[in-house]
Amino acid sequence: MNRVPYLDAAAVSSALTPLEAVEAIVAALSGGFDPASDIPRIAADTSTGQFLLMPSEVGAQAGVKVVTVAPENSARGLPRIQATYLLYDAATLSLRAILDGTALTSLRTPAVSIAAVRPALALVTGPLRVVVFGAGPQAVGHAMTIRAVSANPLGRLTFLVRSTSSAGAARSIGHVVTADSRAGRIALAEAHLIVCATTARTPLFPPDAVRSDAIVIAVGSHEPDARELDGRLLGSASVIVEDIDTALREAGDVILAHRDGLLDTGALLPLKDVVTGAASLQRDRPVVFKGVGMSWQDLIIARAVLARSEDQDGGRGTTDTPVVSPADR
C-alpha cells in the first residue's frame, strides 16, 4: 500500500507566505509557462450546486482541483465553496499529495491578483489606501496579501459590505463600513487599490466613484453573465486578464463590456505579458485585473506548498493518507 501526505488547511496556510506565493506565480510565468496552454476547467451541475474539475500540467507535476459550489450552504452555516487538491507526478501520474483545496484557493487567488497589478502598484507613491468589497475568505485573503507584499506602507484599509453584522475576520485587520454609507463612498473615492471579491452579479460602483488612476481587482465571478465592474470602467482602463480566450469564455465583466460596445477585446493584456514586462501599463488611466481562476495557478501553488512542507518536516507531510494501488486491490 502506498501512502501520500495529506496537507490540511493549517499546513497549506503555514507552508507559504503570501509573498512567496506571489513569487511562485511570477516565477512560473517568467520561466516560460503560457496560461494559454492550460487545460480548460470542466463544470458539472448537481441537484444542489456544481462540481468544478480543474486539471493542469506544468513541468514535472500535474494536478486537479475538485471544487464544489453549493449556493445554499451559507444558510446552513457551511462554506459556499469547498475543494480538495490532488497533486501528481506528471510522468507517471502517481499521486504525490492531497491538499486542502479551499486553503489552497485562498492562498493562490490573491497571489495571482497581486502578481498582475504589482507593476502598477510600484508606481503609487505614499501610503497605499485600499478598499475591499466583501468580507469573505477571498476579501480577507487579498487584504492580507496586499499588506504582506506592498512596497508602500499600508494606509487606510476599508472593507465595504452590505451589512456590518457579518464582517467576521475583516474587523481584525481593517475598518468595516457599509458600501452605501458616506464613509464608504469617501474611502472608495480616495482608494489607490480596489478589490472586488463578492457574489454580486451587477456592478458594485459607477466609474466616476473612483480615482482616474485607480487599480482595480475583480475576482468574484467566473460566470459569463455576472460582473462586479461597470463596462464603462473597463472601456477606459488597461485591462489585464489571465488568458484572453479564457476571459472571453468565462469573465462576465469582460464579456458584457464587449457586448455593450464599451471594450475592445483586442486591447486586453495577458497576465504573462504584464508580469514579464512584455506589456507596459499606462498610468494615465485605471488598471483593471479581471481574474476567473485557472487550473495552472493551483498547481503552481500546490507544488510550492508541498516542497516547502517537505523542507520543514523532512518529507513526512502532515498526515499519511493510505492510497490503494492496483497491486493492493
User: Please, what's the largest Cα pairwise distance for the chain?
Assistant: 66
- Of the candidate ranges 78-92, 164-178, 187-201, the one whose mean pLDDT is the lowest: 164-178
pLDDT average, residue stretch 78-101: 96
Residues of the chain with CATH 3.40.50.720: 113-290
Is the pLDDT at 213 greater than 60, yes or no?
A: yes
Q: What's the confidence (pLDDT) of residue 323?
A: 39
Q: What's the confidence (pLDDT) of residue 111?
A: 98
pLDDT average, residue stretch 161-188: 91
Question: How does DSSP classify residue 162?
Answer: S
Q: What's the confidence (pLDDT) of residue 194?
A: 98
Pairing of strands 61-69, 50-58: antiparallel
Is the pLDDT at 230 greater than 60, yes or no?
A: yes
Question: What are 98's three cell numbers?
Answer: 492531497
Cα gap 110→195, rounded to integer Å: 10
Is the pLDDT at 164 greater than 90, yes or no?
A: no
- If one counts every other C-beta atom within 10 angstroms of the C-beta of residue 212, the result is 11
**Which neighbouring-strand residues pair with 6?**
98, 319
pLDDT average, residue stretch 306-326: 61
Angle 18-30/295-313 helices, nearest 10 degrees? Answer: 120
Question: What are 63's three cell numbers?
Answer: 494536478
% of the chain surpassing 70 pLDDT: 95
- Of the candidate ranges 115-124, 168-177, 288-297, the one whose mean pLDDT is the lowest: 168-177
Q: What's the confidence (pLDDT) of residue 324?
A: 34
pLDDT digits (tens, 9 = 90+) for 254-309: 999 999 999 999 999 999 999 999 998 887 899 999 999 999 999 999 999 999 99
Is the pLDDT at 167 greater than 90, yes or no?
A: no
Cα gap 205→293, rounded to integer Å: 23
Q: How far is CA 159 from CA 64, 77, 89, 209, 313, in A?
A: 32, 22, 41, 16, 37
Name the residue with cell 480615482: 211
Question: What are 172's three cell numbers?
Answer: 481584525
pLDDT average, residue stretch 26-35: 96
**Confidence tier at 326 by pLDDT (50, 70, 90):** very low
Cα gap 221→53, rounded to integer Å: 16
Is the pLDDT at 125 greater than 70, yes or no?
A: yes
Q: What's the confidence (pLDDT) of residue 61?
A: 97
- CATH, domain 113-290, list 3.40.50.720, 3.60.20.10, 3.90.1170.50, 3.40.50.300: 3.40.50.720
CB 19 within 8 A of CB 149: yes
pLDDT average, residue stretch 76-81: 89
Whole-number average pLDDT of the chain: 92
**Confidence tier at 312 by pLDDT (50, 70, 90):** confident
pLDDT average, residue stretch 182-197: 97
**Which neighbouring-strand residues pair with 2?**
323
DSSP per-residue string spanning 75-100? HHTS-SEEEEEEEEETTT--EEEEEE
CATH numeric code, 2-105+295-328: 3.30.1780.10
Cα gap 173→171, rounded to integer Å: 6
Q: What's the confidence (pLDDT) of residue 133?
A: 97
Residues of the chain with CATH 3.30.1780.10: 2-105+295-328
Q: What's the confidence (pLDDT) of residue 329?
A: 29
Strands (E), the chain: 2-7, 42-45, 50-58, 61-69, 81-89, 95-100, 128-133, 154-161, 175-178, 193-196, 215-218, 238-241, 269-270, 287-290, 319-323
- Which alpha helices (H) appear in 150-243, and where do they start and end? 182-190, 231-235
**Confidence tier at 322 by pLDDT (50, 70, 90):** very low
pTM equals 0.91
**Confidence tier at 209 by pLDDT (50, 70, 90):** very high
Q: What's the confidence (pLDDT) of residue 314?
A: 61
3-state class of 37 per DSSP?
helix
Q: What's the confidence (pLDDT) of residue 152?
A: 87
Q: What's the confidence (pLDDT) of residue 328?
A: 31
